[in-house]
């Protein structure tokens, strides 16, 4: 019998040590019929991993998540595909979820050091949950109804709170160019692509996923210059794909939000000047100025705001005066 759910995990040299326990976690938590697809992105495969019942594929180099996810689809046989991270945790999955038939299923999730993150939708779509635990709606109607400020509160901008129908992925995967190295906004891009290409979305109030943000490269508390250069990698390429493949792309790819996001990471780095210079490779001077007015920036400490404005003045105003 074909699996209902294909669970795809790409891992590399920094997180391979979580794979064995994640496989156990998945098999213990998910009662419905499933398969585990692993994409081995390690540069070195000297360390033995007991892959148990998982299927393992590799490209021979670290293709990062964006390419690994595109590459993985050819090996999936489930009705739905679920992309999860190696260092996170899966909660119990009820068998009755197999009764859902929508192009996209969106769930709640939890951050390890915070609270449930997707219940923004409980506020904005409270009437749905008063009706039932699972509600199927038109994706296009939701996209048309809500502004870019609200759109991610409805769907969530991550992939790991979504199950995507494999038929939907297969209908669009050939649009994705091979071997693109993209880290920045890759989750948001894929989520945008699947949302805009779907007809129906199921909003489910189940909490199925624990995101361990303490281990994420983008964690401000452990930000380094190398991590900053990693999380911004490919931002220019992801923007090009947004513009090419996502209708009304500005609604999904909020440039002010994106600039502000990197500012908040940059301010915790070892060398903000070097990191700001890298931002200039991905954003125009006007966009960098626009990001300074995002609500995240205005809520920073005064000395941090002053540092950001000084970085902008030194790098961008100088460039403008040279024209």
In DSSP notation, 262-304 reads HHHHHTTSS-HHHHHHHHTTTS-HHHHHHHTTSHHHHTS-HHH
Contact 188, 239 (CB under 8 A): no
Q: Which of 146-150, 199-203, 252-256 has the lowest mean pLDDT?
A: 146-150
> Across all residues in the chain, what is the average pLDDT?
87
For a pLDDT cut of 90, what percent of the chain falls above it?
A: 62
In 176-197, which positions are buried (b, 16+ CB within 10 angstroms) versus exposed (e)? Answer: beeebebbbbbbbbbbbbbbbb
What's the pLDDT score for residue 248? 87
Q: How large is the average pLDDT for residues 156-170?
A: 94
Distance, CA of 279 to chain centre: 20
More confident residue, 94 or 183: 183
Contact 193, 252 (CB under 8 A): no
Predicted confidence (pLDDT) at residue 113 exceeds the cutoff of 90: no
Helix (H) or strand (E) holding 122: helix 120-124
Contact 206, 107 (CB under 8 A): yes
Contact 104, 195 (CB under 8 A): yes
Vertex 75 angle, CA 231 and 213, to 5°: 30
Confidence of residue 127 (pLDDT cuts 50, 70, 90): very low
More confident residue, 54 or 205: 54
Confidence of residue 114 (pLDDT cuts 50, 70, 90): low
d(CA 156, CA 106): 8
What's the pLDDT score for residue 44? 78
Tokens at residue 33, please?
A: 């019929």
Burial of 56 (0-12, 13-18, 19+ CB in 10 A): middle
d(CA 305, CA 176): 38
Confidence of residue 104 (pLDDT cuts 50, 70, 90): very high
Helix (H) or strand (E) holding 152: helix 151-155
Predicted confidence (pLDDT) at residue 145 exceeds the cutoff of 50: yes
Confidence of residue 297 (pLDDT cuts 50, 70, 90): very high
Q: What is the pLDDT of residues 235-289, one digit of tens each?
A: 999 999 999 999 889 989 999 999 999 999 999 888 999 999 999 999 999 999 9
What's the pLDDT score for residue 215? 58
């Amino acid at each position: 019998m074909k699996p209902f759910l294909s669970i795809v995990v790409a891992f590399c040299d920094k997180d391979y040590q979580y794979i064995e326990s994640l496989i156990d976690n998945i098999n213990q938590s998910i009662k419905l019929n499933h398969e585990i697809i692993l994409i081995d992105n390690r540069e070195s495969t000297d360390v033995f991993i007991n892959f148990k019942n998982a299927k393992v594929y590799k490209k021979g180099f670290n293709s990062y998540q964006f390419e690994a996810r595109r590459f993985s689809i050819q090996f999936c046989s489930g009705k739905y595909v679920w992309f999860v991270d190696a260092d996170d945790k899966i909660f119990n999955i009820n068998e009755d979820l197999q009764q859902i038939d929508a192009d996209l299923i969106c769930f709640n999730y939890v951050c390890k050091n915070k609270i449930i993150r997707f219940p923004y939708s409980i506020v904005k779509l409270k009437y749905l949950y008063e009706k039932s635990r699972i509600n199927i709606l038109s994706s296009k109607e939701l996209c048309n109804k809500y502004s870019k400020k609200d759109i991610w509160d409805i769907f969530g901008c991550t992939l790991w709170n979504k199950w995507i129908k494999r038929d939907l992925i297969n209908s669009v995967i050939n649009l994705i160019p091979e071997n693109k190295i993209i880290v920045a906004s890759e989750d948001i891009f894929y989520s945008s692509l699947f949302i805009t290409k779907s007809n129906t979305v199921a909003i489910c109030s189940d909490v199925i996923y624990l995101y361990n943000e303490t281990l994420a490269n983008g964690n401000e508390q452990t930000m380094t210059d190398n991590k900053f250069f990693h999380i911004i990698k490919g931002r220019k390429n992801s923007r090009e794909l947004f513009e090419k493949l996502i209708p009304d792309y500005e609604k999904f790819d909020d440039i002010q939000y994106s600039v502000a996001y990197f500012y908040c990471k940059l301010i915790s780095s070892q060398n903000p000047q070097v990191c700001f210079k890298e931002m200039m490779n991905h954003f125009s001077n006007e966009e960098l100025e626009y990001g300074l007015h995002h609500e995240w920036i205005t809520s920073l400490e005064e000395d941090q705001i002053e540092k950001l404005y000084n970085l902008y003045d030194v790098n961008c105003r100088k460039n403008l005066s040279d024209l």
